[in-house]
Amino acid sequence: MLYSHPRIYDELYDNFTEDIPFYLKLARESEGPVCELACGSGRVTVPLAEAGVTVTGIDLEPAMIEAARLRAARAGLGPGNPSFFTGDMSDPLPGTFSLVIVPLHSLSHLTETSRVRRCLENIQGALSPGGALALAVHAPDPALLARDPEGLFPVTMAGQEVPIFESSRYDPLAQVLSVRWWAEGEDSLEPFDFSLRMFFPEELMVLLESAGFYIRDRFGWYDGAPLTGESGTQILVATRA
């Protein structure tokens, strides 16, 4: 599993920083504590804490939490902020927050609708009055979902190819994309398997609204570009209804 290997995860994602100013702006506007679900190795959590935001990071993988704590220590951050916990993002949150963020398509790892609903309901219940949720997921690409499951394709991050190749198979009934990655180099013999739930835009709005959210904003990128049919990412900011 890719997320059990912080080094490979960091090689893929550490150079992606375009979302950090977006989440930092929301955090400052919230004027309260922030929780990041599926925080990984602290790619977003630590910069928020460095900017003076009180932030909690939660991730399912103990190896990721260990890497996140190490990243915070290397940044010279003292104990207590950021704080990190091992946990499932569909479980109740450990406190009350002014902002909850779920960056970089992490919500898509909840492939069952019941878990998605539970996650959103728990977030809604953990938000302080006026609190907000911000999340980013893939905008489904028909060409990607329909491609040859026997093919092997290069992986790109932020428009740049990375030393990973993938194959994938899409289940249109479950709306789940099953992916296998092969890393070049020393880890090339170990494939990484993971599944991603595809959220179609109207469906995602319905899921949020049914969990007690009001959709405040929808974007197609972190610079505030509008969400269109050409967007590869859908970014939503929602508040308690």
Q: What is the pLDDT of residues 89-145, one digit of tens each?
A: 999 999 999 999 999 999 999 999 999 999 999 999 999 999 999 999 999 988 878
Token pair for 2: 């890719």
Residue 161: which pLDDT band, with cuts at 50, 70 and 90? low
Q: What is the pLDDT of residues 187-236, one digit of tens each?
A: 455 678 889 999 999 999 999 999 999 999 999 999 999 999 999 999 99
The domains of the chain, with CATH numbers, are: 2-139+198-240 (3.40.50.150), 142-196 (no CATH)
Cα-Cα end-to-end distance for the chain = 37
Say whether pLDDT at 27 is over 60: yes
Mean pLDDT, rounded, for 163-176 = 86
Q: What is the pLDDT of residues 2-22, one digit of tens each?
A: 555 555 565 666 678 999 999
Say whether pLDDT at 186 is over 70: no
pLDDT at residue 162, rounded to an integer: 63
What's the pTM value of the predicted model, to 2 decimals? 0.88
